[in-house]
Amino acid sequence: MRDATHTTIEPGTIPLPGLLDIAAEALLAEFREELTNRGYADLRPTHGCVFRFVREDGMRLTDLATNAGITKQSAGELVDDLVKLGYVERTADPDDRRAKLICLTERGREAQRVGFGIFTELEQRWAAHFGQERFDQLRELLEQIAAEKAPAAVPELSHAALAGVRGE
């Protein structure tokens, strides 16, 4: 079927970035379908980065942006959206009158729980379908790749960075 002796990708082989994209998109599509089914059709994929990074005790826009790896203007727009939709609110920061703390509302916390729950379920479903061991190996390898190639995106390291190192 496939001839591994060629020095070039044969026509018909999808380049790896393409395969990764396809898998990511498929997973995201299933995620969004579930999210819609559970009554959160108004959330767009990009809103995820707020839910993923916002802390329980509130968070400044600048920190959110740094964590998510986007500009504060972009983060601000996402937060505006989520405020309109009732998922987060901006409260005054007691320590700094320029700043506002971004906090999840009750509905926001619910959405966060549901969202993380869906990811967990989906991974379990895919693992059962494609083979638990193969799937675990996939995640493990991807985590290693992420740690080596994009350390800023890996929470453990980026929290360390926030705690003073900020190397870069």
Binding residues for a copy of itself (CB under 8 A):
7-9, 11-28, 31, 52, 113, 116-117, 119-120, 122-123, 126, 130, 134-135, 137-139, 141-146, 149-150, 153-156
**Structure tokens that stand for 60 in this block:** 């400044």
163 half-sphere exposure, CB direction, 13 A CA radius: 6
How crowded is residue 97: how many other Cβ atoms within 10 Å of its Cβ?
8
Q: Choose among 75, 48, 78: nearest CA to 64.
A: 75
Q: Does 32 bind DNA (CB under 7 A)?
A: no
Question: Which of a copy of itself, DNA, none binds 144 (CB below 5-8 Å, type-dependent)?
Answer: a copy of itself
Question: Which of DNA, a copy of itself, none binds 160 (CB below 5-8 Å, type-dependent)?
Answer: none
Q: Does 49 bind DNA (CB under 7 A)?
A: yes
Question: Which of a copy of itself, DNA, none binds 3 (CB below 5-8 Å, type-dependent)?
Answer: none
Q: Choose among 101, 64, 103, 108: nearest CA to 86.
A: 108
Q: Does 90 bind DNA (CB under 7 A)?
A: yes
**Structure tokens that stand for 25 in this block:** 């998109």
Query: Count of residues binding DNA (CB under 7 A)?
Result: 26
Least Å distance, CB 79 to a copy of itself, is 20
Question: Which of a copy of itself, DNA, none binds 71 (CB below 5-8 Å, type-dependent)?
Answer: DNA
C-alpha span between 74 and 93 (Å, rounded): 21
Question: Is residue 39 left, alpha or beta, with left meaning phi > 0 and alpha meaning psi from -120 to 50?
Answer: left
Q: Does 149 bind DNA (CB under 7 A)?
A: no
